[in-house]
Structure 1
Amino acid sequence: MPEKSIPRLQLTLLSFGFKYNEPPAASLVFDVRFLPNPYWIETLRPYSGLEPAIADYVLRAPESNRFLELLDPLLLHIIAEHDSQHKKELCLAVGCTGGRHRSVAVIEALKQRLIHLPVDLSVSHRDIDREE
């Protein structure tokens, strides 16, 4: 009889804007409205957190680095526990005010930090294209 394979954990990284409500399916929600906001820089405002200039503006701040340093071991622990218990899904949501700049940059940074894990990783930027 063939051995039944255990499906890998589906890890979803989701950015969103608090002004459009929290995502109902999120397992964990982190608020990054304390990070520097490119919205207030007129030349940066039109672009999203997918743009290198926006990601750099958000992520180069000491508070951003510290947040990611502290979050890494917590996420690795939570992901390992979910996986060891054969949980099917884990949705990590990161929110900022509009879901266009800070949360997107942080989710993209987390994707790079977690991409090596043996999980099915997906990324969604729920509010990136919403009008202000």
Structure 2
Amino acid sequence: MSEMVKTEQAKEEGFRLVIVTGMSGGGKTQASRYLEDLGYFCVDNLPPVFIPKFVELCKHSGGHVRKVVLVVDTRSREFFDTFVHTLNDMDKDDVPYEMLFMDASDPAIIRRYKETRRRHPMAPTSRISEGIAKERERLAPVRAKATYIIDTSELRKVDLRDKIHRLFGTSGGEQMSINVLSFGFKFGMPLDADMVFDVRFLPNPFYIESMRHKSGAVPEVAEYIAKWPVTKEFTRLLDEMIDFLVPQYIKEGKSQFVIAVGCTGGMHRSVYIAKHIFDRLTAQGYSTRLEHRDLMKNDVREHVREEC
């Protein structure tokens, strides 16, 4: 069965198996991390003899494991000798799989080992170049069966990620998740924010007795904040900025984006603006989540309402 047919069969069956192998220092670890970001269940350094049994277990997981990555390489030592034999058996049984072979030039691999100061698995007590030569010879039959070969010698991490996404992502691509977070500066800035908006310049409902203990998600408070010209101008400019930036970050390949909005206590203005951003992004079809981090740290009474 051809590799293309096996790939299409795997997609139709709802189970996709990707075997990642290749040269030590060729980028297998980075590739598996990108695959993991795409939702694959990754197992590193699995002895080849266990592949058929592991695949069978995954197929009988009740649909919980649909995308699997197995990293197999010469670290498994004597077990690796069974790799080609295992692949041949899988071919005979028409078990659909794809093999990604990660490669790099000898100078690139040597440079990477020098930088990390690790020993090459095929040459623990001798020169790195000797280990590379031994490994290339040992991997030749495996490389010949590869579905995809990626040479990372001159490849940037962002380019490798793009290749992985094109080969193994869903047809629609993985959607960037957006987290919109309100917070109070008096409780500290969120460390994981990609973008922070300080809205302490907006009119503050805290000084209105009837609104002091109500959140910015309550209609009365939201209407008060929204009615001012400065708020209207700010939200207009904010919308334009968000509309421009979000597609750019998606294009860049970012998987998660955190927008944080802060005011003094994280109860009124930041809550209102964060909800405004959340509603706009949700209406545009983005995968968005809203969180009011510090809302309950304030003296919030029975009037607090969260509309997330």
RMSD of Structure 2 on Structure 1 (CA): 1.3
Q: Which amino acid in 1 is paired with 2:274?
A: I
**2:273 paired with 1:98:** no
Does the CA-based 8 Å contact 2:181-2:292 persist in structure 1? yes
Q: Does 1:31 align with 2:198?
A: yes
Structure with the bigger RCO (C-alpha within 8 Å, sep 6+) is: 1
Instruction: Provide, for residues 20-65 of structure 1, a one-character-per-residue CA deviation record: whole Å limited to 9, x for no partner.
Output: 0110000000000000100001111010011000111111111111
Which among 18, 43, 56 is matched to residue 185 of structure 2?
18
Aligned to 2:255, which of 67, 84, 88?
A: 88
Q: Give aligned pairs, total.
A: 132
Where does 1:49-60 land on structure 2 (aligned, <5 Å)?
49-60=216-227
What is the rounded CA distance, in whole Å, between the counterparts of 2:253 and 2:286 in structure 1? 11
Deviation at 1:113, TM superposition (A): 1.7
- Indicate the residue corresponding to 2:87 in structure 1: none
Q: Does 1:42 align with 2:209?
A: yes
SS at match of 1:76: helix
Residue type of the partner of 1:81?
A: Q
Question: What is the match of residue 231 of structure 2?
Answer: 64
User: Which letter does structure 2 place at the counterpart of 1:4?
Assistant: G
Q: Does 1:4 align with 2:179?
A: no
1:131 Cα deviation from its structure 2 partner: 2.9
Give the alignment's TM-score, normalised by structure 2. Answer: 0.41
Displacement of 1:119 in angstroms is: 2.4
Distance in 2, Cα, partners of 1:97 & 1:89? 26
TM-score (normalizing by structure 1): 0.94
SS of residue paired to 2:295: coil
Rounded Cα–Cα distance in structure 2 between residues aligned with 1:114 and 1:30 = 16
The separation in 2 between residues aligned to 1:123 and 1:75, in whole angstroms, is 15
Contact 1:32 1:102 in 2 (8 A): yes
From 98, 121, 126, the counterpart of 2:293:
126
Contact persistence 1:28–1:91 (CA under 8 A): yes
- Which secondary structure state, in structure 2, belongs to the residue aligned with residue 129 of structure 1? helix
Aligned-residue offset at 1:19: 0.3
Shift of 1:118: 3.7
Identity %: 36
Q: Kindly indicate which of the two structures has a greater share of residues assigned to helix.
A: 2
What SS does structure 2 have at the residue aligned with 1:48?
coil
Which AA in structure 2 matches 1:90? F
* Larger Rg computed on CA atoms: 2
CA contact (8 A) 2:184 2:265 kept: yes
Gaps of 5+ in 1: none
